[in-house]
Amino acid sequence: MSDRKTAAELIHHPYQPPAGFAAPVQAVHKASSIFFKDVAELQRVRWADRDAYTYGLHGTPTTFALEARLASLEGANHVLLAPSGLAALNLVNQAFLKCGDQLLLPDNVYGPSRNAARHELANWGITHAIYDPLDPADLAAKLSPATRLVWLEAAGSVTLEFPDLTGLIAAVRANAPQALIALDHTWGAGLAFAPFELGVDLTIHALTKYPSGGGDVLMGSVGVRDRGLYEQLAAAHGRSGLGVGANDVELVLRGLATLPLRYAAQDAAARRVAAWAQTQTAVAQVLHPALPGSPGHEYWARHCTAAAGLLTLRFQPEWNRARVEAMADALKVFKLAWSWGGPVSLAVPYELAHIRSLHRNSGTVLRLAIGLEEPEVLIADLEQALESV
Ligand SMILES: Cc1ncc(COP(=O)(O)O)c(C=O)c1O
């Protein structure tokens, strides 16, 4: 993480201030209409080339600046913005899938992505299958000549299994060379591992989480290296109305300067909370990919130099749903809320039986997203909540 000098690159990214003015932050440009000097220019410029402006929906100097920084953060050649992480996921599906295609999703995929496959994509004649993220042979067995897109998520949602990325990518390349591989890279935030070096075709980010860091912005991005794939994505983006507001883009640009610091702090704090949770008799298992024994820990150790600030607690069998929910209700510093990556620590209970389909899973787990409070304050809050029930 440190040898790439990510923070310095994000802060000193090239931009051209107006003559005579130099400051750390660039101006925020807003427009729907953008003026052309003549008809020839109006007819010539292509926004997808990212060197000219056509219409506010398709980019301004502010959105192009964020795209360029995100591209350098994870080594993509092209980045497109979307109004949320979920919109970015759906843009990839929309750009590359057609009736008759098959889509593959890991069992620990972000829930709304699975629901989109069950509903909208199914209505459009696109089938999907769910594979075990820890078993490349299971993925290989589910690939077919109709497979066009395989999603990866590392670590997976809620249960945080870190997949065998190399094994999964090799299974797709060997058995379904026609398929594209897309990674939901939100957990890694462009910092924990390098997915393009591993061979994925596309990444998406929920910039809503770590890149924004404030808990006050919704935004997503798609990154790609291949020019042909970018052209396809840009065409679909241009037909979809996926505009982002300049003020929100400004907030994410501001957030990027502190992203490596915040990510490292939340990583360290989550590991402290995880280590404490492992000593609690009520807790049967702490799911966090950097912990030995957590599912996929060996793949996390192989691919990653850091971890996000997420952990999930599995409780002893006598901790039924009502008890876990009562404990969550007793939390004071942790707030009950979706999302992660912001300053406030968040907790959400999940029923495993509702969110997994491959293996028999039951029990109520508690997903914790660590914010920027002192870890001892968070541990004291968890301690009092456990005691209260
Ligand atoms: C792994 C993952 N991907 C994508 C998303 C969607 O992001 P957004 O909330 O910006 O739509 C989320 C949101 O929680 C997520 O956890």
Chain centroid to CA 329: 27
Q: Tell me the C-alpha distance between 211 and 217, whole Å.
A: 10
Residue 256 phi/psi, 5-degree rounding, is -60, -35
- Percent of the chain with pLDDT strictly greater than 90: 90
Q: What is the pLDDT of residues 161-185, one digit of tens each?
A: 999 999 999 999 999 999 999 999 9
- What is the 206 CA–ligand 1 centroid distance (Å)? 5
* Residue 84 Cα: closest atom of ligand 1: 10
Average pLDDT over residues 311-315: 98
C-alpha separations of 363 from 157, 207, 215, 351 in Å: 16, 31, 29, 6
Chain centroid to CA 116: 17
pLDDT at 3: 61
Is 110 near ligand 1, meaning CB less than 6 Å away? Answer: yes
Q: Does residue 325 surpass a pLDDT of 80?
A: yes
Is 250 near ligand 1, meaning CB less than 6 Å away? Answer: no
Q: What is the pLDDT of residues 218-229, one digit of tens each?
A: 999 999 999 999
Task: Give the range with max mean pLDDT: 19-33, 41-55, 85-99.
Answer: 85-99
Q: Tell me the C-alpha distance between 9 and 69, whole Å.
A: 8
Identify the band that residue 208 occupies on the pLDDT scale cut at 50, 70 and 90. very high
Q: Does residue 152 surpass a pLDDT of 70?
A: yes
pLDDT at 24: 86
Is 6 near ligand 1, meaning CB less than 6 Å away? Answer: no
Give the closest residue (by CA) to ligand 1 atom 7.
Answer: 85
Taken in order of first residue, the domains within the chain and their CATH numbers are: 6-256 (3.40.640.10), 259-388 (3.90.1150.10)
**CB-CB neighbours of 241 under 10 Å:** 8
Residue 326 token pair: 């009562």
Instruction: Give the mutation target among 209, 251, 338 for probing the ligand 1 site: most ligand atoms within 8 A of CB.
Output: 209
Q: By the 8 A CB rule, do 126 and 95 touch? A: no
Side-chain-side CA neighbours of residue 311 (13 Å): 30
Q: Tell me the C-alpha distance between 248 and 108, whole Å.
A: 29
Q: Tell me the C-alpha distance between 79 and 67, whole Å.
A: 5
Is 82 near ligand 1, meaning CB less than 6 Å away? Answer: no
Mean of the per-residue pLDDT values of the chain: 96
Q: By the 8 A CB rule, do 53 and 34 touch? A: yes
Is 116 near ligand 1, meaning CB less than 6 Å away? Answer: no
pLDDT at 249: 98
Average pLDDT over residues 30-45: 94
Q: What is the pLDDT of residues 114-137, one digit of tens each?
A: 999 999 999 999 999 999 999 999
